[in-house]
Structure 1
Amino acid sequence: MGNSVHARKLQRRRPWWRSLFRYRLAAVLVMLGATSAGYLAVGYDRHELPRVHHGGDSSASNAAVREAGCDIKGNINERGEHIYHMPGQEYYSATRVNPARGERWFCSQWEAWWAGWRKAKV
């Protein structure tokens, strides 16, 4: 009996965080549940992606009509690059939007980026 008691005292006690490795699946599920509950508590309906494609007959007819507050010009250059121009940029006033070529107006930079357009470098 004396030897077993002495052997227990010599064993090093494992740190508390090491036992988490044994229960890693349960820990992951608890973290996933906590983040999901937090996301639902905030309200997931406020995190919508922008509506780039408008319903209707064709996208060209919708792009031809400029909505109020949609001042970002989407232009396609000679090489086929899709570029958007912000008000105040150098070539903004010279840029023309031609819906027949697939060019369009955007209401936000996020909407333009989401549609696959890049910002003008100048």
Structure 2
Amino acid sequence: MSRSWSQRPRRRPYQQRPRSTWRKFFDYTLAVLFLALVALVVARFDRVSTRQESGKAIVNDGDTITLGNERIRLRGIDAPEYTQSCKRDGADYPCGKLSRQALAKLIGGRAVSCSGWQRDRYDRLLGDCKVGDLDLNAEQVKAGWAVAYGDYELEEAAARVKRAGIWAGSFEEPRDWRRTHEGVVEPKHGTLASVGDTLRELFRFH
């Protein structure tokens, strides 16, 4: 015959063992380090805050302009270097100079506005730039005077189909040309680059 509920032995309530001095020290230290990390990140948000620049632009090449004292590289695209040549109809032509002329024509002496926060290896601001509602980054790729470089793949595909700009002949990718002539390798301006740049800026100590 089973015992009634009232007759069954009662279990002692669970009693948590007191934390040791070292465990308390570890927990407090971890909490302080976490709060310090949060404070560091908050204090450095200004490094990844978007910057706005506007004014009359000096066109340096097919993907770089200067606004005031700020040199700006058009984000997500890569144009032939100013001294770079391409081939068309079996002959060389100055595609770098034509790319610069194309960007200057798009701007047409009007005010340019750019926004961005990342910087490249030359400390140029990586910007999304417009003249009014005209997206300069996208238009340079659509016109075939720059290639997609982490963005604007659809615009590049359209330029390929139309054989616009440098796609009318053959050319060396601007990054490959730089690697050969200048020994420079520049990472693309894609999503992974943005994440990496964010972390680097938040935890940079200079």
Tell me the TM-score normalized by structure 1: 0.31
Q: Counting strand residues as a fraction of each chain, which structure ranks higher? A: 2
Tell me the TM-score normalized by structure 2: 0.22
